[in-house]
Chain A
Amino acid sequence: MNLDAVHTGLALFLLANLLAGLWRVLAGPTPADRMLSTQLFGTTAVALLAMEADTRGMPSLRDVALVFALLAAITAVAFVRRVWQPHGDGK
């Protein structure tokens, strides 16, 4: 079984995971639940980009994956500080 078949299969599987995670965005009672699916997006994007770097033969994608990991963290912290200020005017 060659490399690309496995990588493509895994990539599709991860995308299916993402779609399932989207349901949490719809149903999530609290804003924090919706934030969780963005965390899932970030990590899955890192995994996908790392895999695509091999199949596409583009080593630069690994740096993109690194940036994605960083941005996912920053988004969550920004969410907690801005939207969900416990004692501030948050919802």
Chain B
Amino acid sequence: MNALALACMVLGALFFLAGTVGLLRFPDVHARLHALTKADNVGLGFLLLGLALEAGSAAVAAKLFVTWCLVLLASASVSHVIARAALRRGVEPWQR
């Protein structure tokens, strides 16, 4: 179990934690959306990077990379769609 893979996976898990904390504590939909998508993408990216480093064959690493790209595209478009719908329904971003 090489140390780099371990470090990547732990870092990914930390980002997941940040996303969850952001989801729970932020004041409104837009901020939560921001926290959640960012942390998930980066968290998942590091986690999958760690797994790809562990996995011997390049085919597995390529499949994990494709999964990560799909999650990136999906959550980017999803957060755009949800934020637009929220704005249209009058959920204004939180101002101090």
Measuring CB to CB, which residues of chain A are less than 8 angstroms from any residue of chain B? 1-3, 6, 10, 13-14, 17, 20-21, 23-24, 30, 32-33, 35-37, 39-40, 43-44, 46-47, 50-51, 54, 59, 62, 65-66, 69-70, 72-73, 76-77, 79-80, 84, 86-87, 90
Contacts and interface: CB of A to CB of B under 8 A. Distances in A.
B1 to A, nearest CB: 5
A50 B91 CA distance: 36
Q: Which of B13, B16, B44, B91 has the most CB of A within 10 A?
A: B16
A77 B60 CA distance: 29
B47 A69 contact: no
Chain B contact-residue range equals 35 or more
B70 A69 contact: yes
A57 B82 CA distance: 37
Contact of B44 (A32, A46, A66, A70): A46
Contacts of A20: 20-21, 24
Contacts of B12: 47
A69 B44 CA distance: 11
Contacts of A54: 51, 54-55
B20 to A, nearest CB: 5
A40 B20 contact: yes
Contacts of B66: 66
A37 B40 CA distance: 12
B20 A80 contact: no
A80 B81 contact: yes
Contacts of A35: 82
A3 B66 CA distance: 24
A17 B36 CA distance: 12
A66 B64 CA distance: 9
B89 A47 contact: no
